[in-house]
A and B are shown apart, each in its own frame.
Chain A
Amino acid sequence: MFDDFIVRAFAAGIGLALITGPLGCFIVWRRLSYFGDTIAHSALLGVVIAYALNFNLIIAVFVVSCVLALSLLFLQRRTNLPDDALLGLLAHSVLAIGLVLLGILSFIRIDLMGLLFGDILSVNFTDLLFVWIGGGIVLIVLILIWRPLFAGTVNLELAKAEGLNPDLANAIFTLLIASVIAISIKIVGILLITGLLIIPAAASRNLSSSPIQMAILSSIIGVASVVLGIQTSMIWNTPTGPTILTITLGVFIATMLPLKKLIISKNKIKS
């Protein structure tokens, strides 16, 4: 059944949206949206290294992302610079190194558009395994570290004082983001992954009243957008990744409509 590229596209997109939902919530809660962007920028370096050494693309991007994430943790402890300055420093210097390396290794030809925006319709069976097995592991690890990670997100000192280990959970979480970005690179590309992490979570925030509800709803919104996005892109012959994101934006705008207030005020009038 995975012989059909459309089926593979659906399977890859849905798998990815399921992971980016809860992960994206943490990115929103912890104000890390620029962090996702920074890791995504470093992906170019990973791609160049993968081509130069003839290595698996997803693994190379994952390794580079991890190194970047760990350098950030290191810089946070060693300097007094604010996080956004450090992220800017890392994002653009790593992007520059990637481009320089690409210039030196002139035999490499990279489909830049494909890297930036991904091509969900060209996903092969190996990519699919990465999405579902890798994504499954990411989801399981996230569930395992949920409590210390969430408690540390609400209040770091309180979590530490009461015997959790939020610092370890944060470090693991960083690696999870790196893995998801590596997994997603062929599907939505480096420019759109941050959007897929943040927009469904943001839309879900407008409708949720508890953290778990927000995480689950965020996955549902992501999956629905992927399904609608792929179909729309086939009908109108538009690029698939950007179409998916446009749909998530549509969902976000829809969640801003005062539907909830209308329902509540009607109930109030009744009672």
Chain B
Amino acid sequence: MRNNLIELKNCGVVRNQKWLVRGVSLKVSQGEIVTLIGPNGSGKSTTAKMCLNILKPDEGFNTIKNDIRISYVPQKISIDWSLPLRVIDFINLVIKHKNSEISDALNMTGIKHLIYEDVRNLSGGEFQRLLMARAIAKEPHFLVLDEPVQGVDYPGEIALYKTIQEFVKNINCGILLISHNLHVVMSQTDYVICLNGHVCCAGTPKTVIKDQEYIKLFGDSIDPALAFYEHNHDHEHLPDGSIDESKRV
């Protein structure tokens, strides 16, 4: 039996009489990568927040294993101008780390040279790497990445995904990864959940497609770190995200 780090059972969050997301069940165990995909406003971040206990589900149950270290890479952070905050201060935000741990984490994400830089001087991509470095430095048991590569250039994106993979292998942590991209998910993903206000479909992704047509379409630069997830829709959505029962196959 593998060790469940977190589990959602039929969870939902309601705000202003509207369900942001409903009926989500998922679990993440040690050494496993679970990916959430879906369009904007489909409830991916809300689901992640339930996994982190930032939001209490209004329906269903969320359980988080006791005494586990959790790292969270949120989708967006804005730092107030009044705060003098260097990269090193930001990494030490929740736990004070040893200098060696900090430089290792910054090395892994490729921003070691910025260690004493003010956080507000970082570019979007550099800041995203910093968020990742901070999460890694904690050596978490459970890591939540909410669109971790947004604003990162394409080669950087692949490198960061590789970093995540190496990292999982090394420390055997469970990962919940969020991506709004329906097609590109990591080949190492063990389980994919497609959300659109509810769980549309879920399952293991197919391994990399080495099809010539595929390479033609995306070019040779495509890396085995990225894989194609076949998304078989058995239903259609109405504009509000609910399922059109009349068209269900």
Contacts and interface: CB of A to CB of B under 8 A. Distances in A.
Interface string A186-228: 0000000000000000000100111101100000000000000
Contacts of B90: 154
B74 interface: yes
B80 interface: yes
Given A161-B54, A210-B89, A211-B89, A147 B84 contact: no
Contacts of B144: 161
A209 B83 contact: no
B85 interface: yes
Interface of A: prevailing SS: helix
B240 to A, nearest CB: 24
B77 interface: yes
Contacts of B83: 29, 153-154, 211
A147 B54 CA distance: 18
A26 B177 CA distance: 33
A202 B138 CA distance: 32
A75 interface: no
Contacts of A209: 84, 86, 116, 118
B160 to A, nearest CB: 19
Contacts of B70: 161-163
B84 A154 contact: no
B94 A147 contact: yes
B94 A162 contact: yes
Contacts of B52: 157, 160-161
Interface residues of A, number: 24
Interface in B88-114: 89-90, 93-94
12 contacts: A157-B52, A157-B54, A158-B94, A159-B93, A161-B72, A161-B74, A162-B71, A162-B72, A209-B84, A209-B116, A211-B85, A214-B84
Contacts of B138: 162
Given A147-B94, A154-B90, A211-B89, A161 B53 contact: yes
Given A29-B80, A154-B79, A154-B90, A160 B54 contact: yes
